[in-house]
């Protein structure tokens, strides 16, 4: 979805600048999120038991978001949830 505006632009320079900015911003924000999440989990995991529960919770949450996404798209109601 992030590249669609660049497709309709009729200027190659504007499209290239938009895509470059989009890619750069996406990479930077993913890196910041990963760094913050990693720092928080390392500070909150005092024992190995807490770390196991945090990892399992993160994995379960990620799987649930993906499954929900697939179900909403399959039934065609994704836009109804996020309008």
How far apart (Å, rounded) are the C-alpha atoms in residues 6 and 33?
Answer: 26
pTM reported for the whole predicted model? 0.65
- The answer to whether residues 54 and 38 touch, using CB atoms and an 8 Å cutoff, is no
Burial of 18: CB neighbours in 10 Å, binned 0-12, 13-18, 19+ = middle
- Confidence (pLDDT) at 1: 64
Q: How confident is the model at residue 48, as a pLDDT? A: 80
Q: What is the pLDDT of residues 30-80, one digit of tens each?
A: 999 999 998 988 888 878 888 888 889 999 999 999 999 999 999 999 888
pLDDT at 49: 85
CB neighbour list of residue 26: distance below 8 Å, 6 or more residues apart: 2
Q: What pLDDT sits at residue 60?
A: 97
Q: What is the pLDDT of residue 50?
A: 86
- What span, in angstroms and rounded, lies between the C-alpha atoms of 16 and 10? 11
Q: How far apart are CA 18 and CA 8, in angstroms?
A: 12
Q: Position of tokens 């990620």?
A: 62
């Amino acid at each position: 979805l992030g590249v669609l505006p660049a497709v309709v632009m009729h200027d190659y320079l504007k499209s290239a600048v938009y895509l470059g900015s989009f890619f750069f911003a996406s990479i930077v924000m993913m890196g910041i999120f990963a760094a913050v999440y990693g720092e928080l989990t390392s500070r909150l995991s005092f024992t190995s038991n807490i770390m196991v529960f945090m990892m399992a919770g993160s994995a379960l949450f990620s799987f649930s978001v993906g499954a929900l996404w697939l179900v909403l798209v399959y039934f065609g109601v994704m836009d109804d949830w996020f309008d």
